[in-house]
Amino acid sequence: MTARVRSNEQLPSKIVIMQDAGDSRLLVLLKDYELTLNHIEGIDGRLIQVIGGILGVLGIVIGIYLNQKFQLSVGLAWITPLFFLILITFLVFFIYQNNVYLWNARILANQINTIIGEKVIISYDPQLPGAAFLSPERGSLRTRIMYIALFCGTFFLFIVVTVSSLSVIYNASHIQGSLFVLFYGFLVAILSFSSLGLIYELPRSYRIFLNQLRSTGHISNEFLTNLSAFKSNISGLFSVIIPRLPDFITKSFFFIFGYVTAIVVVGLPASKLPLINYLFRSSTDWKSVSSVPVWVYFALWIVYFVVEEIFLQQAKLMWDDIRDIERDKILLQNSTRPIASGRLSVTSAIWQMYVRWSLAFLFSYLLGGFALLLVFFFITFHQAVYVLWAKPRSSKHPLIVLFTLSFNVSLRFLAGVVSIAGAQWSLTPFVLLFVLCYFYPVGVMALLWKIEAEYQRDTHQNIAIRPQSEFYLRHGEFWQHVGLIAAVVVAGAIFLNHVISLSCNTGFPYLQTWYLRCGVESRLAYFDNIGPVISIILIVGLIIIFMLLAFLFVRLFEKMSNLIVPGIRKIKGLLVAVLVMINIPLFILSIIKDDMALLLLGFLVFSIALLFVYEGMTYLEYTFTNLKIRMLLIAKVIYAYLFQPIPNLGLKEVLAIMFTDIDPAKFRLIFPEKEPDQRERA
């Protein structure tokens, strides 16, 4: 800013002050810097108040708890930890705000010093001795100990209050105690995850901003920082809890199948009563299995399901995503995964993976003993073999990766079985159904890799660059039929074997020695336990035998299939709908009636339905793209049939559009255009 006056002796009556653009910019930055400092001072004051309030109230409450004269009610025990958790959340929120304003002050100071040409503003400069000394990342060990004592001490006091409340609630009702642990465990996990932004996302984003500012010298109007990790919506929440949602939806059913099969075959073992009473009993223990209510079966399934599917399975899939992050970023199908899209940072994913895997092993031992822990170990070992050995060799040996990966579903089924049956997992029905579950992914994965390669070839889009794509582009349909036909044959053989064995007067005496024993009243003794070693040998042998049978069958009838398949594809929708309507009641009735024959019949119908579902499937159908379009058309047709009668549209046409792949254009339907309402006209 400069003041210009005349050089003569006579001073004018007016003084003209000239202010250039640089001076105006400096004044604006100084004012903004002053407001930012005021915000920081206000937040610091509120932080001190909140911390002091939390510590004070926690101290009072702990004093009351330690005083035996005060008896905490169950309702108050539920609410008290929530109060402190909200206070801690406020504390984290204020720290977030404080960090944002600190970074803003640092940016403004950098701009002001650049204009002046000298480092005159040094407040909150990270290179100052005070800032470096107090930094939680690179500061002195003394200050780090203080930070640890402050935050860990506050959290420790919260834990003391929570444990005291849990003691009151659990003594009143075990089921309430279990719900209390789940509820507050979920809240603490969400708060911990939300707080990670202070360590990773927020500093990283500001450092990117500062680096661009130093390189360009100004803030561009088009500057956009990568804030994908901060998007807060339903998909973002699910990506935190279930990073691989599609795999969870399509594969978790096999854990349910294993759990249900174990309930039907062995029932609820008496050895589970202590665990059930520990987790779910209300006021008194259940003395026998027959007195356990139905809802406990469902509640116990949820506990095992969370441990196996949310902790273990998602942890192993996150490991795979971390290794493939660079490839997934450029792929159409995988680019939306949380790690590849940036919604979940690699560092956070690694921490989540370790935590999930550790919790899975811990709870597997606590809930299922050594048997379930051993199954979880095999699942982990299988993932390691697939990721570190089979997957890198998929280009030269494409069948190895298929045969290795296909154990994924069988191990899920086995985990569901062992959750209930424990060491009884080697009963013959479990062994045979393990073999059945192996063949489903053989067919489905071969189909997926084939249609991916076809879609990529036809559209020139990098939807999935896989080393084995070229092989399955040529041979995928063959191995699809081998896997799914083998599943149908195995399911039929298991059902027929069971029905023949039920007669007990069979001409096949070997069935009485290794599958079903007759004349014993105890249900546990009906099916023979062939032992772990024989079970493993039988599993490998049956997989090889039925694989060869399906291989020969597909080879022999390959030419005939060219005549049969087109006709099946025309009525595929109707066939699948009928099979699904048959299959669901079969599974429900098998549970209600405790009937193994109905359950095995359900597996047979399910296998046939899968064979039809995937026949002739395209990539757009597999990814539900066509289904979304078809559902809109079906909704439009149903609406027109009910409320807007049009020519050529009757019940027959509606059912054909709903349950077949027929092209609606063949009916020459003309839908009336939707008239705009009064608000649209206005």
Nearest to 312 by CA among 353, 340, 274, 282: 353
**Whole-number Cα distances in Å, 402 to 260, 316, 469, 545, 628:** 27, 18, 12, 17, 30
Instruction: Give strand pairing partners of 17.
Output: 3
Burial (CB count <10 Å: 0-12, 13-18, 19+), residue 250:
exposed
Q: What is the pTM of this model?
A: 0.76
pLDDT at 450 exceeding the cut of 80: yes
* pLDDT at 606 (0 to 100): 93
Q: What whole-number percentage of the chain has pLDDT above 70?
A: 76
For 594, residues 6+ apart whose C-beta sits below 8 A from its C-beta are 264, 267
pLDDT at 665 exceeding the cut of 80: no
Nearest to 599 by CA among 433, 427, 413: 433
With tokens 């009064």, the residue in question is: 678
pLDDT tens-digit profile of 332-348?
777 778 888 777 778 88
Residues 25 and 27: their CA atoms lie apart, in Å, by 5
Q: Which band of pLDDT confidence, cut at 50, 70 and 90, is reported for residue 5?
A: very low
Q: Which comes out higher in pLDDT, residue 54 or 294?
A: 294
pLDDT at 392 exceeding the cut of 60: yes
pLDDT at 15 exceeding the cut of 50: no
pLDDT at 679 exceeding the cut of 60: no
DSSP code of 17? E
* pLDDT at 515 (0 to 100): 75
With tokens 């809890």, the residue in question is: 241
* pLDDT at 523 (0 to 100): 42
Q: Are strands 2-4 and 16-18 parallel, antiparallel or unpaired?
A: antiparallel
* pLDDT at 365 (0 to 100): 93
Residues 296 and 288: their CA atoms lie apart, in Å, by 13
Residues 572 and 568: their CA atoms lie apart, in Å, by 6
Burial (CB count <10 Å: 0-12, 13-18, 19+), residue 378:
middle
Q: Taking the CB of residue 578, how many other CB atoms lie within 10 A of it?
A: 15
* pLDDT at 226 (0 to 100): 47
Mean pLDDT across 549-567: 76
Q: Which band of pLDDT confidence, cut at 50, 70 and 90, is reported for residue 169?
A: confident
Q: Which band of pLDDT confidence, cut at 50, 70 and 90, is reported for residue 521?
A: very low
Residues 44 and 139: their CA atoms lie apart, in Å, by 20
Q: Taking the CB of residue 18, how many other CB atoms lie within 10 A of it?
A: 9
Contact yes or no for 327/465 (Cβ under 8 A): yes
pLDDT at 631 exceeding the cut of 60: yes
Nearest to 386 by CA among 365, 400, 369: 400
Q: Which band of pLDDT confidence, cut at 50, 70 and 90, is reported for residue 666?
A: low
* Sign of the Cα pseudo-torsion (182, 186, 189, 191, in order): negative
**What is the separation, in whole angstroms, between the first and last Cα of the chain?**
55
Roughly what angle, to the nearest 10 degrees, separates helices 596-613 and 572-593?
Answer: 160
**Whole-number Cα distances in Å, 236 to 137, 341, 459:** 28, 11, 30
